[in-house]
Structure 1
């Protein structure tokens, strides 16, 4: 089942955003998002932020379960398509092995900073994502809930002729 687009009626998925925030801050020691906001205002700010915030769940082939507007624009995917996409498909097949190595390292270490890699948008545009932080998500009971990523730097891959 596809979750509805984040808006005031579902509190912009405040519980999920709090999960991302708590794990990010605990693992990295850094602030996640605007420190002057709380509650639904904070969740809405993350959804509308000018940087990418994405997460995927714990399925055998993990599927994105959150993508803010910046991510939707960058990957050329509306919420309903993004949240059906296996996260591995955000990279082309040759780059999926590198991506999986990153996720395996994050699983064992808790988080990783300064990752960069090539991703692909729905329309075929390839782009570098840079200075990415990826971290594990565990709920209050310590149950693994997936992984998330945040980054504000990307640029199109320039093909040399």
Structure 2
């Protein structure tokens, strides 16, 4: 299992980490009754699939006062136009344009209080400045089995460019 200290210290790469994939899956399932991983996968195969092949975007940030992304699968990297190294050094607030950041913060505060939000939609910005609307997103708190909070995650399958 992932310790709070190791996550807080910043793991160099959670991309294909089986424990982290399981943590994301279990915390979503605990809150919503649905998981991220197909039943056919276990352990490392699940983490590899989630990172490289999942047909949906999945990203997570840590618990700092100004959270940093700690995870973004290949679908997220394509959508936001950041590679792994760039994404995992990016403050998550920069995924929204300045005028939209207060709306984004309200969303995250609500998720912290309620545990999750489903059917979220909002405008985000890619590295190039391209704006896109994410729709039907689920945003949730990442909690381990002991109740320790590790951050927040989001998944979405629907997005479209906006002008």
- Give the TM-score of the pair, scaled to structure 2: 0.90
In the TM superposition, what is the alpha-carbon distance from 1:41 to its structure 2 partner?
0.6
Q: Does 1:94 align with 2:103?
A: no
What whole-Å deviation, never above 9, does each CA across 1:8-53 have from its counterpart, x for those lacking one?
A: xxxx111111110000001001132212111111111100212100
| 2:147 corresponding residue in structure 1 | 142
Matched, 1:42 2:51: no
8 Å Cα contact 2:96/2:125 also seen in 1: yes
How far apart are the structure 2 equivalents of 1:2 and 1:57? 11
Over the residues paired in the alignment, what is the CA RMSD in angstroms?
Answer: 1.3
Asked if the contact 2:130/2:161 (under 8 Å) is kept, the reply is yes
Runs of 4+ in 1 over 3 A off after TM superposition: none
Unaligned runs of 5+ in 1: 7-11
Q: Distance in 1 between matches of 2:67 and 2:35?
A: 26
SS in 2 for 1:73: helix
User: Counterpart of 1:25?
Assistant: 29
Match of 1:3 among 9, 12, 20: 12
Check conservation: 2:14, 2:70, Cα contact below 8 A.
Answer: no
Match of 1:66 among 71, 82, 87: 71
Distance across 2 between alignment mates of 1:108 and 1:100: 12
State which of 149, 153, 156 in structure 1 corresponds to 2:158.
Answer: 153
The answer to whether the Cα contact below 8 Å between 1:106 and 1:136 also exists between their aligned partners in 2 is yes
Matched length: 153
1:64-106 CA-partner distances (Å, limit 9, x unpaired): 0000000001100000000000111000010101111111110
Q: Offset at 1:4?
A: 3.7
Match in the other structure for 1:9: none
Q: Contact 1:2/1:84 (CA < 8 Å) preserved in 2?
A: no
Q: SS state of the match for residue 41, structure 1?
A: helix
SS in 2 for 1:19: helix
